[in-house]
Amino acid sequence: MLPAGGAVYSSASAEEKRYDGLQGFRAASGPRVLGAGNGALRRLPADARRPALDRAPGPGRAFPGGQDFRAGARRAHRPDAERRGPLTTTPGGKSSLSWSPDGAQLAYASQGGIWVVPAEGGPPKRLTDAALGPGDPRTASDRSPQWSPRGRWILFETGRRGNSDLMVVSEDGVSTNYLTMSEADEGSASWSPDGTRVAFTERAPEYFSGKLKVIGFDPETGKPAGPPSELHTAPTDRGGGWSIGKAAWSPDCKTLAVVLQHSGWDKVYLVPAAGGALRPLTSGEYDDRSPVFSPDGKFVAVVSSRTNLEEHTIWIVPVDGSAPRRLLANAGPGMEADPQWAPDCSRIYFTRATPLEPSNLLVAAAAGGASATYLTHTLPRNFARAGLRMPEEAHFKSKDGLDIASILYRPRDFTPGTRYPAVLWIHGGPEGQDGFGWDTWAHYLAQEGYVVLKPNYRGSSGYGEKFRNLNVGDSGGGEVDDVAAGASYLVSQGLADPARIGIGGGSHGGTMVAYAVTKYPDLFKAAIELYGVVDRATFNERTNRNSAVRWQMKMGGTPAEKPEVYRKANALADVDKIRTPLLVMHGEEDPQVPPYESAQFVRALRQRNKVHYYFTYPGEGHGFASREHRLDAWKKQLAFLQKYLRPRYGLSSTSLDDLLLDKSERGAAPAPPRR
């Protein structure tokens, strides 16, 4: 909810720029504040992960909610128009900013601890600085601060004991107390509006179920007011998707809205905070997520895929069970998120991205059905919109007849009847989903003359629990056939030249690339494998505990219990079959997929004289956060595709070789197992 006169927050911006002859896009560093009084935009911390909105405690102020800021964000900036200097200059990323109720201070996470800084300026103060316990040092940190509605205490998550617990620290840093301290993982916490209770989810390490719990809180002592009460236990989801989401409190503190998967789809249920039976608030074969109660408690705003499974739209759902209504009418394809109510319930602020523009901040009448007013325009006025084409939804049949939805980008100067070089770009997860949002890289490739297909292969989210679980115990199986069928679809439609089809992806998308070039060695002429897994058994030995358990669930057991399943998921064992040139990239501090995966892959490629290029990036985790590294990776990826797929636009072969050979094969030495 946004208080009267308050400001709202938008992080997305983009601009067109040339980098050494490469025409592309970059996300401009700059979450921004929109003052309610004069509408002036002011910049907040840089390098946001995605746009977010949250409540602002006073005029002209805003802050990002949740964990939207990358670790690469360096500073927090003053939100007032008169003084725009940085609030912080300390090293390390800043994340999860949270206003104090009086608007005088900001809490944030940085360098593994919780900090506060005066909103009007002054030195930041570190509140937590405990020595790490037995946990993985990459994850055993204090994070996700949330200021108590009463203002004295800050709630946060910690990994000090090797799992995730909830703690509070006083605003002066003098007192720190555990709220939860079990062997399970607690997180996704939210304060009750009166500050006397905390709702949270508890996830057992052995399974992907979850429990919704509430614990009382004594604002005087900062300690739990008794043991937690269990409101609901969600069933296990073996597909790796958490079966319970973060709960939202009603204004009167009597009800919680929570996302559960009981029907096979994400749905919003109402749960009495004192305990009692669930009541489904939404139904249907689509997902409803991110519930937010209206200030009067009569409605819940949700983000839904009921309009189209590849889109997210905001709907207003009456608590009394009457018919829901869509916030916007005839808005066109897009991805809406982060609904926030105005105090009088008359308006809803939200973000919206489309395939032709990054996220903007909008406001619309809560009655629904009307158009929205844009409060920000993230693309510069001189941006070359003419070079962008609206992508389209495409469906094709996989090898076993399964319908696969995908997003298709045609080249900038597309001419019917012409076959183009094509790139299949594979999302990660595997529970990710590609939809009708802004995609810098896909547009970049389309401008360079490529057809781009982004398939939502089996295992993707957005199509129900049954579809998402089709790759359980079958990693490297049907999901790879889905991707290969996508390449065949492009050829059958006359869009792709079969001799110039490439593939790329990161995380599980990178894993899929490794699978594809071993299972279909003659299909792809270039492959970009970014921080993927090539051997699930070695991954299981070296990754963090949560990732290991998650993938044991998806594989159906441990390597000792399911050796045949792990063998099928071992691209490393089939390196001899590879005929496709490979570009391999990895962050040297990746906490999810250990760099050892790429190192052993490249070693096997080198031993067999396979064509490959290998680059690692110091200081990077799972993905490339720094602007310098992202640009370097993009340059090299485009150069690699230019070299092997030969599109109509591009650089000379000499400059391509210079880019690809520069520091190639630089990789960290394999690390010993962590588990």
Q: What is the pLDDT of residues 58-94, one digit of tens each?
A: 433 333 333 222 233 334 444 343 444 566 666 556 6
Among the ranges given (53-57, 568-572, 584-588, 632-636), the one the predictor scored with the smallest mean pLDDT: 53-57
Q: Which residue has the tokens 């996470």?
A: 109
pLDDT of residue 49: 34
User: For 533-540, what is the mean pLDDT?
Assistant: 95
pLDDT of residue 5: 37
Q: What is the pLDDT of residues 293-307, one digit of tens each?
A: 999 999 999 999 999
Instruction: Say yes or no to pLDDT of 659 above 50.
Output: yes
DSSP letter (8 states) at residue 574: G
- Amino acid making up residue 184: A
Whether 290 and 338 have beta carbons less than 8 Å apart is answered as yes
Whether 107 and 116 have beta carbons less than 8 Å apart is answered as yes
User: For 52-62, what is the mean pLDDT?
Assistant: 45
pLDDT band of residue 160 (cuts 50, 70, 90) is: confident
Which H or E run contains 643? helix 627-645
What would the CATH number be for the domain defined by 247-379? 2.120.10.30
Q: Say which residue, 30 or 621, is predicted with more confidence.
A: 621
User: For 93-109, what is the mean pLDDT?
Assistant: 87
pLDDT band of residue 112 (cuts 50, 70, 90) is: confident
pLDDT band of residue 524 (cuts 50, 70, 90) is: very high
Buried b (16+ CB within 10 A) or exposed e, 348-370: bbbbbbbbbbbbbbbbbbbebee
- Amino acid making up residue 138: R
pLDDT of residue 57: 52
Calpha distance 130→145 (Å, rounded): 16
Calpha distance 369→648 (Å, rounded): 45
Angle at 290 between CA 627 and CA 110, to 5 degrees: 40
Maximal CA-CA distance, the chain: 73
The SS3 call for residue 119 is coil
Instruction: Say yes or no to pLDDT of 363 above 90.
Output: yes
User: For 273-302, what is the mean pLDDT?
Assistant: 96
Q: What is the pLDDT of residues 125-139, one digit of tens each?
A: 999 986 554 444 444
Pairing type for strands 288-293 and 299-304 reads antiparallel
> How many Cβ atoms from other residues are within 10 Å of residue 522's Cβ?
9
Phi, psi of 228 (to 5 degrees): -70, 150
- As given in the structure block, the two tokens for residue 283 are 């139904």
Calpha distance 370→152 (Å, rounded): 41
Among the ranges given (117-131, 519-533, 602-616, 641-655), the one the predictor scored with the smallest mean pLDDT: 641-655
User: For 418-433, what is the mean pLDDT?
Assistant: 96
- CATH fold of 391-661 reads Rossmann fold (3.40.50)
pLDDT of residue 60: 37
User: For 348-371, what is the mean pLDDT?
Assistant: 92
pLDDT of residue 360: 94
- Amino acid making up residue 32: R
- What residue segments make up the domains of the chain, in order of their start? 247-379, 391-661
Beta strands (DSSP E) in 510-619 are 526-530, 582-587, 612-617
| Residues belonging to the chain | 675
Whether 586 and 531 have beta carbons less than 8 Å apart is answered as yes
Calpha distance 323→316 (Å, rounded): 9
pLDDT of residue 410: 97
pLDDT of residue 31: 33
pLDDT of residue 461: 94
pLDDT of residue 630: 94
pLDDT of residue 262: 86
Calpha distance 467→463 (Å, rounded): 6
Calpha distance 616→620 (Å, rounded): 9
Whether 12 and 359 have beta carbons less than 8 Å apart is answered as yes
pTM of the model: 0.84
Mean model confidence pLDDT for the chain: 83
pLDDT of residue 206: 59
Calpha distance 242→595 (Å, rounded): 26
Gyration radius (Cα) of the chain, Å:
25
Whether 85 and 77 have beta carbons less than 8 Å apart is answered as yes
- As given in the structure block, the two tokens for residue 173 are 């840093």
Q: What is the pLDDT of residues 200-228, one digit of tens each?
A: 999 866 556 789 999 999 999 999 999 99
Taking each helix axis from N to C end, the angle separating 653-661 and 627-645, rounded to the nearest 10 degrees, works out to 130
Angle at 520 between CA 514 and CA 524, to 5 degrees: 80
Pairing type for strands 32-34 and 41-43 reads antiparallel
The SS3 call for residue 466 is helix
Q: Which residue has the tokens 């604002």?
A: 219
